[in-house]
Structure 1
Amino acid sequence: MRLTCDVELVNRLLPSFNLKKASRSCRAQVSLGKKPASSSKDGALFLMVCTAKDRNGVKFLVKGNIEQIFGKFVSDGKATIRIRDPQQDVCISKADPLQLKNILNLIHQASQGKDLDRTALSALTPASARQVEKPKTKMTILTRKDYPLTTTFPSSLESLQVSQCSMKRIDQRILQLSKLKILNLSHNSLQSLPESYGRIYSLYELYVNNNQLTKLPISLCRSSLSTSLVVLDISENQITTLPLELCELKQLVTLKADKNDLKSLPATIGKLIHLKSVSVAHNKLAILPAGLTRLQLDHLDLYCNPLELQQTESVIMSQLTFPTLVECCARSIKKYRVPYTDEDLFPQLCQYLDSARHCWCGNYCFQCCARYIATVDLRRVSATVTAWDNVGTKLVPVEAFLCSQNCLTKFQNNSVAYWK
């Protein structure tokens, strides 16, 4: 029986001599078994703790030598085994709860002298370096020769960077790293991102800048990353449009899309309520969505985009049309927040519902609406703005929509009310 965990050996005699040892645990292997060459009948059971500094291990006799086992937090992978001689406590943490429970049960039985001959016990041999090394949580690969072709990625990885390796597609082994939190695949030759993200459930930073991507797949926005991704960097690619589904990345805080071929931003970008930093410099944006004004950003970078101001403060570009039955139903679904998935509706209808536009009154509209362009000072949107300076201000054109004749009339009577 072997258990890999963190262990701290505490000498209980130190306080009586006014001595105190700094509390520090290390990666270790805890084994329960008999010494090599011991017979099965008279061989005594020992508890052995092997660490990286002492791979031969420290052995504690079990029978009649276990004073108490503290297992209140065994479900959290924590327990303490109190030894009589020597007077030490074996403090276990970061252990698998099920394995920990099993070994504690065997230790308890062995301490009372019960027969464990039918139980498969470990031979008390020195641990290998791999068994007591601290799990690797970070890996950086900057050349092709360092890329692991014959070996696997450590399953304990939390941060992985693979750059300058001419990678054309993401290795499926990377998508099986369930503990991965930061994935950096910048400066490669990626032409597309995968449709499925395997066992990656808690990724909060994704860097795919400096690649050859032409689009951002919808699957990325609707995967498990939709509730975990905080930072997304897709700058220096060849992306021409961002899907509306991007706004399903509910926890997104930082979006970097510099040096692409973007001609527009998602109309529903205002749904990203946690967004604090947006960088879309060196693109082809001529107009911004009105939803952007709903955000409270810390930084907004629009440098080197062909944003052109209108001659007048607001211009109505198209008139209202009579709403269709489909639009009436869609407006009701969005208004009353009726939940829907791809299993409930056709994908085309889901995409139609996701394309909902916000009117200045707060209601939703789709195809049947009046489109207009207004001028907005970006200092209302972000604390720090990088953009073309227009006579000392940061004025840009934004595109917005009016859902009804009533909203259109109010807009015509006072077109600047909403933007004050």
Structure 2
Amino acid sequence: MKLHCEVEVVSRHLPALGLKGRGKGTRAVLTLCPPLHRSPPLSRVGAERGDPHSAYLCVATLKDKRGTRYKLKENIEQFFTKFVDEGKATVRLQEPSVDICLSKANSSSLKGFLSALRLAHKGCAVDALLSTQTSVKTSEFEKFKTKMVITSKKDYPLGKNFPYTLEHLQASYCGLVQFDTRILYLKNLRKLDLSHNHIKKLPDRIGDLIYLQELNLSDNHLDSFSVALCESTLRKSLKSLDLSKNKIKALPLQFCQLRELTDLKLDDNKLIRLPFKIGQLKNLRFLSAARNNLPFLPSEFKNLSLDYLDLFGNTFEHPDVLPVIKLQVPLTLLESSARTMLSNRIPYDPHVIPFHLCHDLDAAKTCDCGRLCLNSFIQGITTMNLHSIAHTVVLLDNVDGTQAPVSSYFCSLTCYVNSSDMLK
């Protein structure tokens, strides 16, 4: 029985000596093996002459293919398996006093291997699982492939799975018409590039790729980016997203939950609006949404702080348009209650108030004075200099210089009149 993963062996004596481990694993092959029938070398820590039917854990690396052996029978102090579904676990031994930290393992293989270790610890017969090899072959370590680049349809693997150890996968110009669900099992994936294909829809389970930092879906046939993806674990991991050259008309309100985004490319789509809470993307530094159908920018766009901004080729409206007045005097009970909840940051969820009210509160408009409003407001088009939020700005083609129209909201007539950007 074998397990391919990364291993770090940490001595529990290190903290007492004021030291700590490297914190980085080494590619290794773990096997269950029988005890040595002769006195082992001193370098084989934990190996000793013993019960011929007992099993030992052998940790072999590329530098030490014969491996280090550890006794298992009545020698495992504890298993740490909280993150076993992520391919991580730790086996704590009594003698020697070490923690064997496993990571980047196939989760199903890891669970099976841990079950075998438990049996060996209890002294159960595991002869059928023992490996008779005295050393691990170099070819075993070649299975630890972390990067795969495919740039033609003929090279795309159909008859075999992707190596589960992949951290970077590029499959471009492969003619894919749908997302390959085998990719969802690559739990260590950091970078995924499926550009220049014909993919029309993304599965919600992409959020299962908990380490995914870069996602390139440019030049496909996507017409949406689902709410489920915005609410998945991508919120904590995704830093770079390329959706350029697709057919997307709008991004959902929940898109702004992807708070770790630093780079966002939306060029050459059919966007008629940007998420109006886009100002919540505090980490965003690169934004490109050229050649779309944006008539104006959302009011919270002014809250961004960018290094680079490109909005070239959009159909921006002229700011001299009449405002939309939806003021309610006096305020309705719903409006007054909503403003109170939002201004006092009172938490809410569908278990407390109806779902549709949660959605309305999530979509509340921000007045230039900072207050929030629900259905009572004045909406108009103001202008802003894009250099006020971005260091480098690509000039707009159909408005003057770097001045862009912004859809602004005012919670009252007083705010509308007193606004420094008062409408003409």
Which of 392, 396, 402 does residue 388 from structure 1 map onto? 396
Shift of residue 25 of structure 1? 5.9
Partner of 1:246: 255
Partner of 1:260: 269
Identity %: 34
Shift of residue 196 of structure 1? 3.3
Partner of 1:86: none
Partner of 1:27: 28
Written as runs of structure 1 = structure 2, the 5 A alignment for 1:63-142 is 94=102, 118=125, 120=127, 122-125=130-133, 127=136, 131-133=140-142, 135-142=144-151
- C-alpha separation between the residues in 1 aligned to 2:57 and 2:292? 65
- C-alpha separation between the residues in 2 aligned to 1:229 and 1:59? 38
**Is the aligned partner of 1:213 residue 2:222?**
yes
Rate the CA distance shift 1:171–1:405 in 2: closer, same or farther, 3 A: same
**Is the aligned partner of 1:278 residue 2:287?**
yes
**Is the aligned partner of 1:376 residue 2:377?**
no
Aligned with 2:301: secondary structure? helix
Conserved in 1, the CA contact under 8 Å of 2:55 and 2:130?
A: no
TM value normalised by structure 1: 0.73
- C-alpha separation between the residues in 2 aligned to 1:117 and 1:247? 53
Amino acid at match of 2:201: S
Rate the CA distance shift 1:242–1:138 in 2: closer, same or farther, 3 A: same
Conserved in 2, the CA contact under 8 Å of 1:29 and 1:131?
A: no
Shift of residue 346 of structure 1? 4.9
Written as runs of structure 1 = structure 2, the 5 A alignment for 1:129-278 is 131-133=140-142, 135-197=144-206, 199-278=208-287
Shift of residue 124 of structure 1? 2.2
Rate the CA distance shift 1:50–1:324 in 2: closer, same or farther, 3 A: same
- C-alpha separation between the residues in 2 aligned to 1:50 and 1:74? 21
Aligned with 2:418: secondary structure? helix
Rate the CA distance shift 1:60–1:151 in 2: closer, same or farther, 3 A: closer
Conserved in 1, the CA contact under 8 Å of 2:315 and 2:398?
A: no
CA deviation profile, 1:118-138 (whole Å, cap 9, x unmatched) = 454624225466644352222
**Is the aligned partner of 1:332 residue 2:340?**
yes
Conserved in 1, the CA contact under 8 Å of 2:54 and 2:120?
A: no
Amino acid at match of 1:203: L
Shift of residue 197 of structure 1? 2.9
Conserved in 1, the CA contact under 8 Å of 2:28 and 2:59?
A: no
Amino acid at match of 2:166: L
Shift of residue 360 of structure 1? 1.0
Equivalenced residues, count: 378
Partner of 1:367: 375
Rate the CA distance shift 1:336–1:159 in 2: closer, same or farther, 3 A: farther
CA deviation profile, 1:262-317 (whole Å, cap 9, x unmatched) = 12212211111111111011112221122111111111001112334435xxx661
Partner of 2:85: none
Shift of residue 324 of structure 1? 3.6
Conserved in 2, the CA contact under 8 Å of 1:244 and 1:267?
A: yes
Rate the CA distance shift 1:310–1:162 in 2: closer, same or farther, 3 A: same
CA deviation profile, 1:134-171 (whole Å, cap 9, x unmatched) = 52222222222222222122222222111111212212
Rate the CA distance shift 1:192–1:346 in 2: closer, same or farther, 3 A: farther
Partner of 1:319: 325
Structure 1 stretch displaced more, 131-140 or 44-53 = 44-53
CA deviation profile, 1:27-56 (whole Å, cap 9, x unmatched) = 3445531579xxx9879988866555886x
Shift of residue 188 of structure 1? 0.6
- C-alpha separation between the residues in 1 aligned to 2:56 and 2:201? 55
Conserved in 1, the CA contact under 8 Å of 2:8 and 2:102?
A: no
Amino acid at match of 2:34: G
Amino acid at match of 1:252: L
Conserved in 1, the CA contact under 8 Å of 2:287 and 2:309?
A: yes
Query: Structure 1 stretches of 5 or more lacking a match?
Result: 10-23, 63-68, 84-89, 110-115
Rate the CA distance shift 1:332–1:228 in 2: closer, same or farther, 3 A: farther
Structure 1 stretch displaced more, 227-236 or 347-356 = 347-356
- C-alpha separation between the residues in 1 aligned to 2:242 and 2:323? 34
Aligned with 2:292: secondary structure? coil
Query: Structure 2 stretches of 5 or more lacking a match?
Result: 10-24, 38-49, 82-88
**Is the aligned partner of 1:406 residue 2:414?**
yes
Conserved in 2, the CA contact under 8 Å of 1:205 and 1:232?
A: yes
CA deviation profile, 1:74-97 (whole Å, cap 9, x unmatched) = 9985999999xxxxxx99765689
Partner of 1:306: 315
Structure 1 stretch displaced more, 178-187 or 382-391 = 382-391
Shift of residue 241 of structure 1? 1.6
Conserved in 2, the CA contact under 8 Å of 1:74 and 1:101?
A: no
Amino acid at match of 1:291: E
- C-alpha separation between the residues in 1 aligned to 2:51 and 2:93? 29
RMSD: 4.3
- C-alpha separation between the residues in 1 aligned to 2:8 and 2:369? 62
Conserved in 2, the CA contact under 8 Å of 1:165 and 1:188?
A: yes
Shift of residue 243 of structure 1? 1.9
- C-alpha separation between the residues in 1 aligned to 2:133 and 2:291? 62
